Each structure stands twice: as structure tokens, then as C-alpha cells.
Amino acid sequence: MASQRLLIGVDVGDVATGIEEAIRTLLKQADVYPSNVASLMIGTTHFINAVVEHDASRLEPVAVLRLAAGDYMKNTPPFIDFPPALTKIQIDGTEIGLIKEADILEQAKIIKAKGLQRVAVVGIYSTFDEKYTQEYQIVCSRDVAGVGILARENAAILNASILRFAKRAINSFKRAMKRLDLKCPLYLTSNSGQLLSSDEATLFPIQIFASGATNSIRGASFLSSAGKNTESRYVVDIGGTTTDIGCLLPSGFPRLASSSTDIGGVRVNFAIPQIESIGLGGGSLVHVPEGADGRFRIGPDSVGQALREKAKCFGGGSLTATDVMVAAGVAKAGTSKPVVLLKTMEAVRKKMKTMIEDLIDRMKTSPEPCSLLLVGGGAFLCPPELVGVATIEIPEHSGAANAVGAAVAEIGEAAELIVDNDQQDTTLVEVKARAIAAAVARDAKEDEVRIIEEDVSGIPYIEVKSKIVVKVVGPVDYARFLNSSEIDVPESSTDEMYDEMKKWEIEDLKTFTEADIDHDTYRPNVDCNRVWHLTETDAYYISIGCYILGCAGGGTPYGSYLELRQILREGGDITIIDIEDLEDGALCGPVAAMGSPAIAIERLGGNMIGEAWEGLQKHLGIKFSGVIAAEIGGSNGFAPLHMSNAYSIPCVDADVMGRAFPAFEMSSLYIGAGDGNINHLLPVCLASGDGTTMTFSTSKDALAVDKVLLISLAAGIAARPCTKTELQNFSIPKSQSLAWRLGRAVVRARSKETIGSVHRDLITEFGGPQAAKKIFEGKIVGVGSTIYKGHSYGKLIIDKLKDYEKESESSESHDTGPQKIEIPFKNENLLVEAFYKNGEKKILTMVPDLIMVLDTLTGEACGVPEYRYGLKIMVMVAAAHPLWISKRGLEIAGPKAFGYDFDFMPCGAYTGVTSVIDEYAPKA
């Protein structure tokens, strides 16, 4: 069937009327009868605006029914990480616990009594559940987003809250179609660039939240004269206020973000395009320095929406990026040519070029020159040549790329499954067939459905399982709709899109944020008995510090921080004491959680560690009087803090690693076993969190212990308790204090806008230049990783920053330093190898010293899961505690313990940590 496409734009007061007027004008200009229209595709940001604006007239209260066995998720209730204004199945496929019908009925009665009309159902690993399905008249999280229970639950809640508004909006579109005598299907474009039917969009409006950027990328692809491409291209969209970049894959769809994202202050994890943005557009204000040594600044403030009134080329008084380009003769706009000094023009154009090049570099996945598609009304800001860019194309009609992207969208589907490794080949064929059949069922042309993504990957810590993901797309089969009947549209006026009375008020609630605290004057609560009582601010500092001490491993403490914050808000008391303040007969148990990160993001909290703790006490027949972290690095730094509240016992300001390590026996307590007998660390109790515990009493060697521990996909562990004397001699003291100080340093730097020099503050907290240093600043240009025997192995490659890539003058120059470094890792960073201009190679530092990779924009740690090309980072190293550089310590966790054949070379000298308790306890 022949098709015709035209572009039209209108200015009206509301979305539904605008769509109707645009279609009416389009049909008239194209001389097309409504009966010849095969489909109507709409791209809109209307729904996401309701969430971003916290609009009470368009959002509804939601009842959340969470399915979790035992105490899983106990300390992370629904809405735990929503902003205040919006609050008010196992991985191997087995069922964790039975769903009791009586419990569901009881909750349903409560929901009914509260008058709630929207329900979100969330289950642990429900994304892989195909057997224990729930009713589909309510929002099930498995249908909304992917793995990661908190982010998926948040997405389900947002989706449920906007269902009524979405129904009104889409019905108003349908009524507009009816008035135009259109009897074709209505589709809306999704975040991934694929089509949703009007019924699907009504059920899952959250899936079209981020369709705007996707439509621009897809539209640029369609408009490009290059046609289909075998390599990825980058789409740069320059508007009035911002410049956005996304990656156009050879499949014709945008590259999607691989992790969670933020919408209206809510962390979610559904598929949206990976977009990077900067404050550069046609309306960006140009700030000219007064002094000779000053720097030009462009944006992020902008008059983009009022360019015709404010820009100098239109007679206004503001110097904008557009004015500079008009003065330079590059662009034609306005009523006059502004007078701009040649020096200013050159400096501003050079700065804009650097900003765009830097933005492109942040999105690229390799250093090779790339191809660029340039769209948007501000495309004239981009010079014809850019460093790192091979070709630049500005397609015809580039200003309408967004609308074109909606018009060319296709039907997409996906299927995924967790399988045994020996079933990969047969199951892959089955998953492909399932995805294709699902796309055809949604009106894709059967013979034109194509696979755009096929991935078989291992799961960390789970050697016997793999995850298969297949994604397909295909064009709409319009032949099915040639004889479509009239669309079903309710006539009720209560469904009108803009009949929106405010039924629910959103209160302006206040809770802790960085900006609420004066971080220079903040004092932790240490009482006269030298007991440190944690606050939300303390927990926040410690969460940042723990991830820094994780040396890229240990897992993000974010979920653990949320749990601890909730405990504190409910009146919990979490205490920390110094080793020296322990009673002489005290016994303190090391605790941690271990297992696959894939499990951790689904089964937050629970009582795994508590059950292990109680199991070990029962096994030994004694009660422990204190608790200590098995490792301070990563999320396990929070494990003893949870125990402190649960059992009303103090957490000791120490741990037995001083960082994160990948193996159980890499404990400073093991250094005390002069004969190297692993039984010195035993017994250890493991608990699954659902009532199953196992105590491991003896072992032939350390390897046997590690193998047994890796069998558990997720478990809490409690190890042999330590005496006060043992902790004095063989623990890493003041590790909670160090985490607190590192986190405070980062937050202070952010509040003062001195993040560029945060490394100096961190060095001070580690004990000064002799104890820590920054050894490199650069950009990640390569990441290779694999899963082997449950651990993440790989290598990080970082290039030195070029002068134009530096954020500010604080990005130090190292003319005689290395041009590149490589950091191999096994869960945690192992060493730093430097490469110099003259061909020399040198190892700068190695385990057990702490090798930390920090994001230069935030000052926070980058763990292995966050490593990606283009990320600007700084590498720091801190000296290990003297226990670790002893002969026995190096045997356990030195370079030779990780398979290297060279001796340890220290980066400096450990100088100790200032205790928070010593500094802030009331003086007698």
C-alpha cells in the first residue's frame, strides 16, 4: 500500500486540541481522505510532566501490595526513596514462599476501606515468574520494569498513580479521531522507540515517559541520507536551552540506559534511552569575563523560550549563543546583526566546540572517530568539524526529527529467561520464537520481524545459571486494519482530558537532604559515655565512605542506607563504640551478607544476618555483646549497624578487612593464625533468610570454605566471635570513623562546589600525603570483564585527559606522568600499571593498598558495575593497615595471593585515623 508523509505544526492551548488541529490541517494539505489513513502515531511527554511537576490533579494515591517471604524487604517499605512530595520468585525460578489467599483478602479489605482505586503488586523476582501470575486488572511490577525490586516497585507505583489521567488523555485523543472520522488504530511511541497500542498505553503509561528523546533519535535515522548503517551513530539534538546526545544503534533504535534513572526524584529502572545533556542551546546566555584572566561561560541559564524578546539580534539586551553565531555570519536570525568583539566571538565559538566535543566523548564507547547526525533548531551552534568525529550530517527536515520518529516507530517485543548453562542452545531457540510470536500477536508483520538484540550472559556468583534476553521489532501490519470498525470511545464528559479537579493534595513535606545540613558545623551525637548514636546524616556520610573503601567492590550501599534511614525514622537506635571502651570479657561477632549482586538488588534486607547471628549463638551456647563488620567496603559496612538496632548491642568502630576483599579468608583475624589454619576463623553460620541455617565448623583448607560459601546464592554470615584483645591486636580500627570522614569530605566539597579538589580533602582524612595520594586523572577508554567461578574479573583502561577535556583549572597537568593506566580487578581493584610516552611501563601500586576509582563530577566511588567508556575519573591510592603489609598479611592478600609473581611495593605509610568518638565525645 502506498504511503505519504507530510509535516505540519500548530500552536494551540492543549495537547488534544493541538493534535486534532494538526491532523485536520495535514489531511487538507495532503488531500487525503480519513478512510485512507492506516494509523495514527503520537509521541507525547504529557504523562512524565505530571510526575516531574508533582501535579496532584493528575496523580492518584496508590495501594502497594508487596509479595515477599519472611522478613525480606522488612526495612525497605514501599515509597522508601520517593521524594517527600510524592510519598504520602527466586532467581533460579523456585517459589520463595506460598501466597496465602486469606492474607490477600485481608489486604484487599484494607485497600477498599481506604477508598484507594489503584493497586500495584510487587513480588521478589516477579520479572522471571511465568507460573504464579497475578490478576491483570491491577498493575503488576513484572509488567512495568526489570530486575531491581525497589526501582521496579517505584515504576509500578508511578504507573498506577497516573492510570486515570492516562485513560482520560488517551480517550481525548480517540474523541479527536472520531471527530475527524479516523477509523484507524491509535498508537503511542514508547521509551524504547517502539509502538504501544492505545489500550497498552492506557495500562502502562510509564512506558511512554521518555519517548521524546527516542523519537528524535529514530527520526534522525529516518531522515538521514546514509540510510541503513552497520555501525552506531550519534544523534546530537541542539535546542533552545540544552544539547542532548543519544546513540543510534545499527538496529535503528537508541542505545538504552543500563541502570536505574531518576524521574521526578524517583529512582526507576524501566528501559529508557541513554541520553547525555549539557546546558547549551540557541538561547544560552554568554557571560563575558571582566578581568583579563577570566573565562567565558556559556549557559546553563537560557532565554530559549523568550529568544525573540531577550536576544540582542531581536533587539533585546541579553547576549546569547545565537547572537554570537549571527554576528559571526554563521546563522541568520533576528532583525539586526549584533555587535560582538572578534575576541569574544572566537572564544565563545571555541568554548561551544569544546562543550559539544566533550558531550560526544561522554557518550562514545570507543576512541575511534564516530559519525554524527545533527538535528534541532540550534544545529547552527555546532561547527562543521569536531575532534573525534569523522562525519557530520544535518538531514533535511532535521527540525522535525521528533515528529518523524513517532511516525516511523515499529512494534517491539522481548523475552528473557534464566536457564541452566547446559540448556543455553535449546532454550535460546525457544526464547527467540517466543519473542517473535509476541510481536506478531501485537500486530507486527510476521515475515518482517527481526531480532535486534540477543544476549546470553552469566550471573555473578552463580556458576550454573545464565540469563537469555532476546529483543525483536517489526513494522506494523497495516493490512489488518484496512476494514477497521469505528474506534470505541466513551462519551462520558468526566473523561475529558482537562476536567481535572484537584482531588488529592500533595503536602510540602521536609526530610533530610544534603542542602538541609551545614556540613561544616555538623556534629555527630556522641554522649558522655563515649557512645556514638547515629543520625541520618551520619548514615549518609558512611554510605558514601563505605563505597569508596570498597575499592570498586562490595556492592553499592544505597539499598542498605535506605534501610538504615528507615530504621532511624522509626525511632531506632544505632550505636557505635570504640574498641577500647569494650568490657574486658566482651565477645564481638563479625557479620556480613554475601552472594550474587543479582540477588541483592531483589531481596533487600530481610533477616539473613540476624538468623546467622542467632544460629551461631545457639551453636556455641553463648550470647555476643557486640558486633563488628567483616568488611567495611561496600554495602557490608552497614551490616553491623543494622544488627546494633535489632539486638540493642553496640557496633565496634572497626572491621577485619579495612576495605572489601573477594574471599572469606582475607580477614585480618586470619593474620593472627600463625600456623595458617583456616579453622581459626571458624565456626561460621550461614542463613538464607527464610528459616534455613547451616553452621560450618571445620575445614581442611581455606579454598574449601570459599567453595561452600559460594554455593549460597545469597546468605547472611556470622563468624567466630572475637575477644577485646583479639580486636586490639588483629582488627582494622576506626573503619566506621574513616567511612564517615570520607563521606563528609565528599558532601562538603559538593556543597561548596569544590568537587574538583575533593581528592585533597580525602587525602587529609586518610592521614595526609604520606598515607594517600591521587595518582591519575583520566577517562575510561576500555572495560573488559567476565564472570569466572562466581567472581567478576576484568581490566579497566584509562587514558590521560587532554587539555580541552578538563573540567577546570583544578584538573592537574601531568606532563611527565603516565599517558595511560590499566587496572585489573577481581571484584575489587588489584593494581595500577602505568604506560609512559617513552614506552616505559611501571606498576604504581597494588593490593593490599586501597586502589579507589572516583567519579570526577560527584566525588563518589565507581564500582565495577559502574565502569563504562567515557566516564571521567580520578584514581586514588591509600596505604593499607600495617597488619596487611606484614609477612603473613601479604601471604593472605598481597599480590602473590592474586596470582602475580612480584613482591609488594607500598604506596606510602599508614598513619592512622582520627576517631569520631574521640573527637566529638564531651570532654570531662
Q: Say which range, 27-36, 110-119, 640-649, 776-785, has the weakest mean pLDDT.
A: 110-119
Q: Say which range, 90-94, 245-249, 421-425, 720-724, has the weakest mean pLDDT.
A: 90-94
**Is 222 within the bounds of a domain?**
no
Q: Is 875 strand, coil or helix? A: strand
Decide which of 130 and 678 is more confident: 678
Q: Examine the domain organization and report whether 726 and 749 are in the same domain.
A: no
How far apart CA 557 and CA 739 sit, in angstroms, is: 12
Question: What's the pLDDT at 610?
Answer: 92
Q: 10 Å Cβ neighbour count for 520?
A: 9
How far apart CA 163 and CA 749 sit, in angstroms, is: 41
- What is the domain extent for residue 754? 742-917
Residue 175 DSSP label: H
Q: Say which range, 181-190, 487-496, 822-831, has the weakest mean pLDDT.
A: 487-496
How far apart CA 554 and CA 901 sit, in angstroms, is: 26
State the DSSP H helix or E strand holding residue 468, giving kind and residue range, or none if neither: strand 462-474
Question: What's the pLDDT at 770?
Answer: 96
Instruction: Give burial (CB, 10 Å; 0-12/13-18/19+) of 122.
Output: buried
How far apart CA 852 and CA 848 sit, in angstroms, is: 12
Q: Is 143 strand, coil or helix? A: helix
DSSP 906-924: -SS-------HHHHHSPP-
Question: What's the pLDDT at 827?
Answer: 83
How far apart CA 252 and CA 782 sit, in angstroms, is: 25
Distance between start and end Cα atoms, the chain? 90
Average pLDDT over residues 821-832: 93
Q: Examine the domain organization and report whether 801 and 900 are in the same domain.
A: yes
Percent share of the chain, pLDDT over 90: 34
Question: What's the pLDDT at 786?
Answer: 56
Q: Examine the domain organization and report whether 151 and 118 are in the same domain.
A: yes
Angle (nearest 5°) at CA 269 between 572 and 461: 75
Identity of the amino acid at 36? N
Give the pLDDT band of residue 272 (cuts 50, 70, 90). Answer: confident
How far apart CA 319 and CA 288 sit, in angstroms, is: 9
The pLDDT of residue 564 is above 80: yes
Residues 15 and 169 sit within 8 Å (Cβ to Cβ):
yes
Query: Chain-centre distance of CA 161, in angstroms?
Result: 23
Q: Say which range, 389-398, 711-720, 759-768, 814-823, has the weakest mean pLDDT.
A: 711-720
Question: What's the pLDDT at 505?
Answer: 43
Q: Which residues contact 793 (CB under 8 A, 6 or more apart)?
A: 785, 786, 787, 824, 825, 826
Residues 66 and 123 sit within 8 Å (Cβ to Cβ):
yes
**Is 491 within the bounds of a domain?**
no
Among 50, 48, 45, 26, which Cα is nearest to 37's? Answer: 26
Percent share of the chain, pLDDT over 70: 75
**Is 630 within the bounds of a domain?**
yes
Q: Examine the domain organization and report whether 675 and 600 are in the same domain.
A: yes
903-916: pLDDT as tens digits: 999 999 999 999 99
Average pLDDT over residues 385-410: 87
Beta bridge partners of 486: none
Q: Examine the domain organization and report whether 669 and 531 are in the same domain.
A: yes
Of 107, 142, 161, the domain-final residue: 161
Among 152, 264, 172, which Cα is nearest to 210's? Answer: 264
74-132: pLDDT as tens digits: 666 666 666 665 554 333 444 445 556 677 777 777 777 777 666 666 655 454 455 44
**Residues across the chain:** 924
Half-sphere exposure of 408 (CA within 13 A, CB side): 22
Residue 371 DSSP label: E
Instruction: Give burial (CB, 10 Å; 0-12/13-18/19+) of 657.
Output: buried
Q: Examine the domain organization and report whether 654 and 746 are in the same domain.
A: no
The pLDDT of residue 886 is above 90: yes
| Grid coordinates belonging to 81 | 526513596
Q: Say which range, 133-147, 418-432, 609-623, has the weakest mean pLDDT.
A: 133-147
How far apart CA 616 and CA 273 sit, in angstroms, is: 48
Residues 401 and 42 sit within 8 Å (Cβ to Cβ):
no
How far apart CA 595 and CA 572 sit, in angstroms, is: 27
State the DSSP H helix or E strand holding residue 189, giving kind and residue range, or none if neither: strand 186-189
How far apart CA 246 and CA 786 sit, in angstroms, is: 27
φ, ψ of residue 613 to 5 degrees: the values are: -60, -50
Q: Examine the domain organization and report whether 733 and 750 are in the same domain.
A: no
Half-sphere exposure of 721 (CA within 13 A, CB side): 24
Residue 231 DSSP label: S
Identity of the amino acid at 564? L
Give the pLDDT band of residue 167 (cuts 50, 70, 90). Answer: confident
The pLDDT of residue 644 is above 90: yes
Q: Examine the domain organization and report whether 422 and 388 are in the same domain.
A: no
In Å, how far are 54, 67, 168, 504, 747 from 161, measured between CA atoms? 11, 19, 13, 11, 33
Give the pLDDT band of residue 14 (cuts 50, 70, 90). Answer: low
The pLDDT of residue 523 is above 90: yes
State the DSSP H helix or E strand holding residue 286, giving kind and residue range, or none if neither: strand 284-287
369-382: pLDDT as tens digits: 889 999 988 889 99
The pLDDT of residue 789 is above 60: no
Instruction: Give burial (CB, 10 Å; 0-12/13-18/19+) of 867.
Output: buried
Q: Is 22 strand, coil or helix? A: helix
Of 691, 716, 737, the domain-final residue: 737
Identity of the amino acid at 244? D
Alpha-carbon torsion 822, 826, 828, 830, what sign? negative
In Å, how far are 7, 46, 693 from 10, measured between CA atoms? 11, 17, 67
Angle between helices 558-569 and 536-549 (to 10 degrees): 160
Task: Tell how strand 462-474 and strand 411-420 pair up.
Answer: antiparallel
pTM of the predicted structure, to 2 decimals: 0.67
Q: Examine the domain organization and report whether 700 and 554 are in the same domain.
A: yes
Question: What's the pLDDT at 120?
Answer: 63
Query: Chain-centre distance of CA 190, in angstroms?
Result: 20
Question: What's the pLDDT at 78?
Answer: 66
Of 702, 719, 737, the domain-final residue: 737
Beta bridge partners of 119: 63
Is residue 475 reached through a cis peptide bond, with omega within 30 degrees of 0 on the bond before it? Answer: no
How far apart CA 132 and CA 123 sit, in angstroms, is: 10
Give me the numbers of helices (H) and strands (E) for the chain, helices first please.
Answer: 24, 37
The pLDDT of residue 604 is above 70: no
Decide which of 133 and 142 is more confident: 142
Q: Examine the domain organization and report whether 533 and 676 are in the same domain.
A: yes
Q: Examine the domain organization and report whether 453 and 523 are in the same domain.
A: no
How far apart CA 558 and CA 580 sit, in angstroms, is: 30
The pLDDT of residue 192 is above 80: no
How far apart CA 763 and CA 475 sit, in angstroms, is: 57
**Is 207 within the bounds of a domain?**
no
Instruction: Give burial (CB, 10 Å; 0-12/13-18/19+) of 723.
Output: middle
**Is 460 within the bounds of a domain?**
yes
The pLDDT of residue 134 is above 60: no
Give the pLDDT band of residue 879 (cuts 50, 70, 90). Answer: very high
The pLDDT of residue 557 is above 50: yes
Identity of the amino acid at 825? F
Residues 203 and 192 sit within 8 Å (Cβ to Cβ):
no
Question: What's the pLDDT at 501?
Answer: 40
Decide which of 637 and 605 is more confident: 637
The pLDDT of residue 12 is above 50: no
Instruction: Give burial (CB, 10 Å; 0-12/13-18/19+) of 876.
Output: buried
Decide which of 213 and 593 is more confident: 593
The pLDDT of residue 281 is above 70: yes
Angle (nearest 5°) at CA 486 between 485 and 490: 140
Look at the chain and report how many structural domains it folds into.
Answer: 5
**Is 364 within the bounds of a domain?**
yes
State the DSSP H helix or E strand holding residue 709, giving kind and residue range, or none if neither: helix 702-711
Q: Examine the domain organization and report whether 452 and 525 are in the same domain.
A: no
Identity of the amino acid at 28? K
**Is 112 within the bounds of a domain?**
yes
Q: Say which range, 27-31, 522-526, 724-728, 766-770, has the weakest mean pLDDT.
A: 27-31
Report the chain's mean pLDDT, rounded to a whole number: 81
Residue 764 DSSP label: H
State the DSSP H helix or E strand holding residue 291, giving kind and residue range, or none if neither: none
**Is 493 within the bounds of a domain?**
no
Task: Tell how strand 233-238 and strand 370-375 pair up.
Answer: parallel
The pLDDT of residue 508 is above 60: no
Q: Is 197 strand, coil or helix? A: strand
